[in-house]
A and B are shown apart, each in its own frame.
Chain A
Amino acid sequence: MDNLDTTFAALADPTRRAILARLAKGEASVTDLAEPFAMSQPAISKHLKVLERAGLISRGRDAQRRPRRLEARPLRDATHWLENYRQFWEAQFQRLDSLLHDLQAADPKQKRKKRRR
């Protein structure tokens, strides 16, 4: 998809991911969204713009509150792709964790070296 980069760039920020997690529970106004983050409304609005441009959220009808809501599809696509990839590698890396642990347990010299540095 042409949008993949935009989507991933939008997802790269922890605040934006938290906003999406909040919107997964239901639509919310900018004020609601700003609350848990100790961030100004303009700062939150900036994040919302990025999410909107990526097609990850849209605005509800209510002209007063202008609630934001999650657009599930692009997010589902992007997270499925990344998550699929991630899970494959995480399974490998967890085995690598155990291997590295075993290697260090078997060779106390490695630990001593580590402390000296």
Chain B
Amino acid sequence: MKNSGTFNVTTHGDREIVVTRLFDAPRKLVFDAYTKPELIKRWLLGPNGWSMPVCEVDLRVGGKYRYVWKSDADGHEMGMGGVYREVLPPERIVLTEVFDEAWYPGEAVDTIVLVERTGQTTLTQTILYNSRETRDAVLKSPMQRGMAASYDRLEKFLPSLGSEALSA
């Protein structure tokens, strides 16, 4: 996929993870994909072999959302949810997130900002955790328990880092 190269994950300050990514679509569509249940269910599925049987969204300040994923293999379920703090279509969403099986302490606050330029949209998603320890634990733990995607080994990863840097 040609936009994979625009995807960046980094840390900011002590408590944040910042994700940026470019999409070939106007931001209204990206906003819809992040906020309409029938669209969320088509992409936010976790690794292969998981589905999203529950996706409820009450898109207004103070409104709640709830997501549940399910493993086809063993039926294991994993849920999360939270509250919308800011809803500003089509450019900004702030929401809290708490997992049912708390794999990190407290709730995190997610800020999603969409910037459109010539029909393309840059997503910046900042996840603010309640402490540095929590943020670092999130990065160190396999993503969302049981949903851990396999990752490349260092040897495979480094050459790609290098070619990306040299062609930049």
A63: interface (CB < 8 Å):
no
Of the listed stretches B59-67, B93-101, B103-111, B160-168, chain A binds: B160-168
Residues of B within 8 A of A8 (CB): 10-11
A14: interface (CB < 8 Å):
yes
In the complex, the answer to whether A100 meets B149 with C-beta atoms within 8 Å is no
- In B19-64, which residues have CB < 8 Å from any A CB? 19, 21, 23-26, 29-30, 32-33, 39, 42-48
Residues of A within 8 A of B89 (CB): none
Residues of B within 8 A of A103 (CB): 25, 29, 32-33, 39
- Minimum CB distance partner of A80 in chain B: B151
Contact A72/B154 with A81-B139, A85-B143, A88-B47 known, Cβ cut-off 8 Å: yes
- Minimum CB distance partner of A76 in chain B: B154
Type the 1/0 row for B122-163, where 1 means its CB is closer than 8 Å to any CB of A. 000000000000001011101110011111101101110111
A20: interface (CB < 8 Å):
yes
Residues of A within 8 A of B43 (CB): 92-93, 95-96, 98-99
Type the 1/0 row for A22-44, where 1 means its CB is closer than 8 Å to any CB of B. 10100000000000100000000
A46: interface (CB < 8 Å):
no
In the complex, the answer to whether B149 meets A87 with C-beta atoms within 8 Å is yes
**A28 vs chain B, min Cβ distance (A):** 13
B72: interface (CB < 8 Å):
no
A100 to B162, CA, bound (A): 30
User: A80 contacts which of B47, B144, B154 (Cβ < 8 Å)?
Assistant: B154
User: A21 contacts which of B3, B29, B165 (Cβ < 8 Å)?
Assistant: B165
Contact A97/B3 with A82-B9, A92-B43, A113-B26 known, Cβ cut-off 8 Å: yes
A5 to B157, CA, bound (A): 20
Most interface-central of B44, B138, B140 (chain A CB within 10 A): B140
In the complex, the answer to whether A14 meets B33 with C-beta atoms within 8 Å is no
22 intermolecular pairs with C-beta atoms under 8 Å apart? A14-B165, A15-B165, A21-B158, A22-B162, A80-B151, A83-B157, A84-B139, A84-B149, A86-B7, A89-B7, A92-B46, A93-B7, A95-B42, A95-B45, A97-B1, A97-B24, A100-B25, A100-B30, A101-B25, A103-B39, A104-B25, A114-B26
**Interface residue ranges, B against A (CB under 8 Å):** 1, 3-4, 7, 9-11, 14, 17, 19, 21, 23-26, 29-30, 32-33, 39, 42-48, 119, 136, 138-140, 142-144, 147-152, 154-155, 157-159, 161-166, 168
